């Protein structure tokens, strides 16, 4: 059952973008190789190979981000650790690419980049600190008991796991 489809959409969009970027850089590498022209004295073969390698690395990065979004969708949980860092870095990359594409490519590419940025941020914010709808946020896998048998939260009386601090007293 799909509860929040935004992570599925982000996974598909990032995977398509990964394939598109890898394909575009590969095509540019082939064009440079067939032109056999030098840019500021650089070897055309080095430019061609570096374009292809850069496209594959950048495509693999976006594919890894798509995998993280897919895991978020399947698990219905917020990304943690390296996955969260990858999605945040992908959001930053899309913001920077959006800024560059406004001036270099046009407003349609800018809108696409900002839309993907918004989707990634939506995944990060939608799943942030929330439990799945069918699971209460304070449910523990061992029946609500901590490792020592006391209720979760450390309060032996079964109170709230977050208790307010005692009121200050004046001497």
Give 73-76 contacts, CB < 8 A, sequence gap 24+: 73/2, 73/4, 73/5, 73/7, 73/8, 73/11, 76/3, 76/4, 76/127, 76/132
Digit-coded pLDDT (tens) for 138-157: 544 555 555 555 555 454 55
* Of 71 and 158, the one with more pLDDT: 71
Digit-coded pLDDT (tens) for 73-101: 888 888 888 999 999 999 999 999 999 99
What is the dihedral sign for C-alpha 80, 82, 83, 84?
A: positive
Across the chain, mean pLDDT equals 82
pTM, two decimal places: 0.69
Digit-coded pLDDT (tens) for 92-125: 999 999 999 988 988 999 999 999 999 999 999 8
Q: Which two tokens stand for residue 94?
A: 């899309």
151 exposure class (CB count in 10 Å sphere: 0-12, 13-18, 19+): middle
The two most distant CA atoms of the chain are separated, in Å, by: 86
Among 107, 29, 18, residue whose Cα is nearest residue 68: 18
Digit-coded pLDDT (tens) for 45-69: 888 899 999 999 999 999 999 999 9
CA 91 to chain centre: 7
Which residue reads 């007293």 in tokens? 169
């Amino acid at each position: 059952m799909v509860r929040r489809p935004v992570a599925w959409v982000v996974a598909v969009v990032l995977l398509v973008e990964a394939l598109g970027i890898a394909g575009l850089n590969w095509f540019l590498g082939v064009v440079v190789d067939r032109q056999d022209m030098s840019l500021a004295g650089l070897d055309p073969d080095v430019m061609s190979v570096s374009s292809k390698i850069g496209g594959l690395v950048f495509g693999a990065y976006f594919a890894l981000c798509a995998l993280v979004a897919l895991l978020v969708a399947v698990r219905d949980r917020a990304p943690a650790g390296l996955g969260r860092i990858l999605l945040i870095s992908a959001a930053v990359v899309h913001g920077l690419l959006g800024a560059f594409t406004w001036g270099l490519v046009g407003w349609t590419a800018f809108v696409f980049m900002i839309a993907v940025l918004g989707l990634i941020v939506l995944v990060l914010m939608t799943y942030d600190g929330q439990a799945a709808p069918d699971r209460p946020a304070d449910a523990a896998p061992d029946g609500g008991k901590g490792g020592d048998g006391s209720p979760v939260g450390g309060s032996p009386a079964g109170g709230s796991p977050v208790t307010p601090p005692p009121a200050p007293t004046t001497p």
